Amino acid sequence: MITPNMLTSIRIGLVPPMLYSYLYMPKNGETVAFFIFIFSALTDVLDGFIARKYGMVTKLGTVLDPLADKMMLISVLTIFVLKQKISIWILIVMTLKELLMIGGAYFLYSNEDVVIPANIYGKASTFMFYVSGFSIILDLGMGSIFMNLFALLNIISLFIYFYRFVSVKA
């Protein structure tokens, strides 16, 4: 049986081929990257579904899953900036946000009794990341609008997590 941690590990392993194909494959590189990105999105959804449905949530998974998300997110945004498909401000803001979340997670998990659940903005942001990424890779006109919406949802999500964190710690 495939475990959620196996799927998450696969997602981590998809980052280098995604980067390589998009940046260095002159023929069909973006197409290969697109399918890697789709597979990554599917394994992201599937690992969360399996973990919750079958009670397979583990400490390792709670570390690896966000790590895989952050690795793919920052990698995809970086290649989009390098290929001049998005503005660098999105990469900078999202990288800073992810660093803040890592710092917050450290404080959060140092007290194991505290768990802050995902919020709807975080889930919507992840969905919008995949939609915007697909749109940009496919050169659809709405890609930059979707990417800006992704960034906005991501920032809102950060503030909600911060508010919940402060409320729980108070």
Residues of the chain with pLDDT under 50: none
Alpha-carbon separation of residue 71 from 4, 12, 33, 84 (angstroms): 17, 7, 15, 20
DSSP 5: H
Residue 32 has a pLDDT of 96
In this predicted structure, what is the pLDDT of residue 79? 95
- φ, ψ for residue 131 (rounded to 5)? -60, -45
Q: Are 15 and 78 in contact (CB under 8 A)?
A: no
Q: For position 100, what pLDDT does the model report? A: 81
What burial letters (b/e) apply to 67-103, b meaning 16+ CB within 10 Å? ebbbbbbebbbbbbbeeebbeeebbebbeebbeebee
Q: Is the dihedral of CA 68, 74, 78, 84 positive or negative?
A: positive
- Which residues are within 8 A (CB) of 93 and not within 5 positions of it... i.e. 6 or more apart? 151, 155
Looking at 25-85, list the stretches that DSSP marks H as alpha helix, in order from N- to C-terminal side.
29-53, 59-82
How many whole angstroms separate alpha carbon 75 and alpha carbon 15?
7
Q: What are the pLDDT digits (tens) for 112-123?
A: 555 555 668 778
Residue 164's pLDDT is 76
- For 74-85, how does the pLDDT look when each residue is reduced to its tens digit (9 = 90+)? 999 999 999 999
Task: Tell me how far the alpha carbon of residue 133 is from its chain's centroid.
Answer: 11
Query: Tokens 């911060």 correspond to what residue?
Result: 162
Q: Report whether 157 contacts 119 (CB < 8 A).
A: yes
User: What's the confidence (pLDDT) of residue 116?
Assistant: 59
pLDDT of 124 = 87
The reported pTM is: 0.88
Domains of the chain: 4-169 (1.20.120.1760)
